[in-house]
Amino acid sequence: MDAALRQIGVRKRGFAPSLSGPESRLVIALVVAAVLGVPIAAGLIFTLLPAFGYLPSIGGYALTVKPWRDLLATPGLARSVRLTLSTSVAATALALILAFGFCAIVHGRMQKRGAEGLLAPLLAAPHAAMAIGLAFLIAPSGWLLRLVSPWLTGFTVPPDVATIQDAWGAALVVGLLLKELPFLLIVILAALNQIPVEQQMRAGRTLGYGPGIVWVKVIAPQVYRQIRLPLYVVLAFSISVVDMALVLAPTNPPPLAVLAFQWFMSPDVARYMPAAAAAMLQLLLAAGLIGLWRLGEQGAARIGLWWTMRGGRGLTGEPGLQFAAALGITALILGFGSLAALAVWSLAWQWPFPDALPSAWSLGIWRHQAHALVWPLANTLALAPLTSLAALVLAIAWLEAEDRAGIRRPATVFHPVYIALLVPQIAFMFGAQVLVVKLGIDGTLMAVAWAHFLFVFPYVLLALADPWKALDPRYARSAAALGSSPTSTLIRVKLPILLRPILLASAIGFAVSVAQYLPTLFVGGGRVATLTTEAVALASGGDRRVVGVLAVLQSLLPLVTYLAALAVPRIVFADRRGLSGRA
Amino acid sequence: MISRFDLVVEPGTVATVMGPSGSGKSTLISFIGGHLDPAFRATGRVLIGSRDMTELPPERRGIGILFQDDLLFPHLSVGANLAFGLARSVAGSEVRRARIAEALAEAGLSGFEKRDPATLSGGQRARIALMRTLLASPKALLLDEPFSKLDSDLRREFRRFVFDRAAAKRLPVLLVTHDVGDARSAGGQVLNLGSGRTE
């Protein structure tokens, strides 16, 4: 054509901020608000009202503080609250310290990819299964004591000591630690990817600092900032945990969340109102504790800065870190031991007390239980893929809409979408039940799927957001410059490059769905049984072999998904060095 | 930041925009390419020939861009990367395959279709990236410091390669750089964003 006319002319007059956001973001925000916001808000309101005496279905119309008076008059309430606070703070603080200690000593010798594979069984196992496995391990008649009896201890019958459900809640703290430590480790390893650890380590060591202390003074503060949200999720979860506590926590009095749960589940409807009050107290405790933790952070930051400014080289501090790392490794081993205990018990036919291993092995329990497993298994296998897939689609739509609107907010900042992970489940699950009853969908699989989605979606988004935002935006620009439309770029460029994090996020969503206990029970109205609800129901007093079968199956499903998520990219991208997941 | 900026690039010539970092070079490239961050607002027009591109989405502007990094898609083979770039109007798998082979030959990389981009050297990847851009038949070419990561021998060689191909296709080229050597070898007008004067 007329070549002389081909020119680029640019005339620019200053830049100023402008508002431009495509409607897609608005639409997705509305969908999320409707699907997540409505049930959470309704759940809180319909729990708050009964806490003040308003529950028309059992004839409560007048607003009163009687539920609170009933709650406060409950014997042992103060001990319940103390137990709740002490176990959650201890579990969270221990998990954090051990995770940092572990990373300080082991990081650099450990490949992130290897760690993912190693931690996968612990990450995938539902909390309930881990609690049951730990009980199998440390109970007076548990595996640990069997291994050392009678040759070391002299026991020929199980001793009469409370090693689980101990009055201090120590077993619960350990149980929480077994699940939260691997979670924090994987979160920290992801955060470390965004920090030039090697260079900073070299810089610190040439200034005369020991490697461990460089980690504590230089790396850890940067990491902490990035893992604050997941850490608060751990804290909120620990304070309000029910399924683990039913297995491991003391019963008289139990932690507050368990107290509320037992009243809600009681056949005596008069208990609903004090239960709602207890649930609201639980909410206040969680909010107060997160607030206090936040203050503690600021204090720790100030002390840490003073300590860093003093310039101590901390060469004597290494043994402390090594001790923390050793404890961390012990906790991980205990976690694997718990899972092994589940497997062994599910295959045991006869296992008299002091024997280290079953005297007779059999698949008999699996065969006998097959008929009883069908429905819980089918429900679990319907809910988990459905919710994780729906969450994945919505998360991708969400992140893509943010990309197109040019938003580069870091993924780990607080956002209303994560509220479901920070509010105690017990504080809004009764209200959510009221909502689904009003909608006439209580006890249906769809309603339970909806309840699972409240927790699956935030976890999937949290898992996917970081790698998504880390993708170089110039890939999409290159594709556009080559004539590819935004949607075509999404399908042909972004999704394939992000295949690995996408599959991992779905696997996490799958595991979250499998693990749900309270939402399944409340919204399902007890009519939708899953492997988790069955396992917890049978955990106390049930035949260990049967419980073992349920818990093994419950852990195996997410693990298989997880391993598939790690393996598929290796197969699909076997001849693409940049994506195969090999270091 | 930038104000009153006027530039006309004739086909087959290279105009160079220079300036220290922070002077708005990359923002200028983003504006022309259509990728401007919504946090900025720009007024002004981008014309190719008599066609106004300012309101068009990036994929319909027909402006090829080479970045500092080659940005070959890691999930696609070298051949598939080139096919991604090759215009749709080139139809028929035989014809397309031939065009890709031809482009590889031009880059001195015949037979590299099946290779994983991650296994190539930096210079080879840079040449593939240029061929991918040219196969999309752009009407103009933006170069966002594409030479800065190559060492000096490779840099001279690749620079020559790019400018020769662009001149052969009579493309107007806008080069953004902070390297005087780049500007000198481009041979066209040089615009300094820091001082705003044209040499």
A480/B49 Cβ within 8 A: no
pLDDT in tens, A177-221: 999 999 999 999 888 878 888 888 888 888 888 777 888 888 899
A406/B38 Cβ within 8 A: yes
The owner of tokens 């040219």 is B134
Residues facing residue A350 across a β-bridge: A360
A-facing residues of B in 18-47 (CB < 8 A) are 27-28, 31-35, 37-47
Residue A7 forms contact with B (CB below 8 Å) = yes
CA-nearest residue to B2 within chain A is A14
Residue A511 phi, psi (nearest 5): -65, -40
Cis amide linkage into residue A17, ω under 30° from 0: no
User: Which of residues B1 and A57 earns the better pLDDT score?
Assistant: A57
The DSSP element (H or E) to which B180 belongs, if any, is helix B180-186
Question: What is the arithmetic mean of pLDDT over B77-97?
Answer: 92
> What is the DSSP secondary structure assignment for residue A506, as one 8-state letter?
H
CA-nearest residue to B80 within chain A is A492
Q: Chain A contacts of B140, Cβ < 8 Å?
A: 6, 8
Dig out the tokens for B71 from the structure: 């940005």
The residues of chain A scoring below 70 in pLDDT are 1-22, 108-113, 314-317, 409-413, 580-583
pLDDT at A133: 96
Name the H helices within A33-169.
Answer: 38-51, 66-72, 77-106, 112-124, 127-138, 143-148
Dig out the tokens for B153 from the structure: 């021998």
pLDDT at B199: 41
Q: Chain B contacts of A573, Cβ < 8 Å?
A: 75
Residue B91 forms contact with A (CB below 8 Å) = no
Q: What is the pTM of this model?
A: 0.89
A6 to chain B, minimum CA–CA distance in Å?
A: 4
What is the ipTM metric for this complex? Answer: 0.86
> What is the DSSP secondary structure assignment for residue A418, as one 8-state letter?
G
Q: Report the residue from B42, B64, B140 with minimal CB separation from A8.
A: B140
B-facing residues of A in 406-435 (CB < 8 A) are 406
Counted across chains A and B, CB pairs separated by less than 8 A come out at 173
pLDDT at A320: 83
pLDDT at A435: 95
Rounded CA separation A123/A117 (Å): 10
- Those residues whose C-beta lies under 8 Å from the C-beta of residue A402, and which sit 6 or more positions away, are A25, A409
Residue B84 forms contact with A (CB below 8 Å) = yes
Question: How far lies A350's CA from each of A80, A361, A373, A529, A543, in Å?
Answer: 38, 7, 22, 29, 12
Rounded CA separation A39/A452 (Å): 12
pLDDT at A412: 57
Residue A499 forms contact with B (CB below 8 Å) = yes
Residue A481 forms contact with B (CB below 8 Å) = yes
Q: Classify burial at A333, counting beta carbons within 10 Å of its beta carbon; exposed 0-12, middle 13-18, buried 19 or more.
A: exposed
pLDDT at A80: 96
Question: Residue B174 in 3-state DSSP?
Answer: strand
Question: How far lies A223's CA from each of A104, A181, A182, A474, B13, in Å?
Answer: 12, 15, 16, 27, 49
pLDDT in tens, B30-78: 889 888 877 777 778 888 888 888 888 888 899 999 999 999 999 999 9
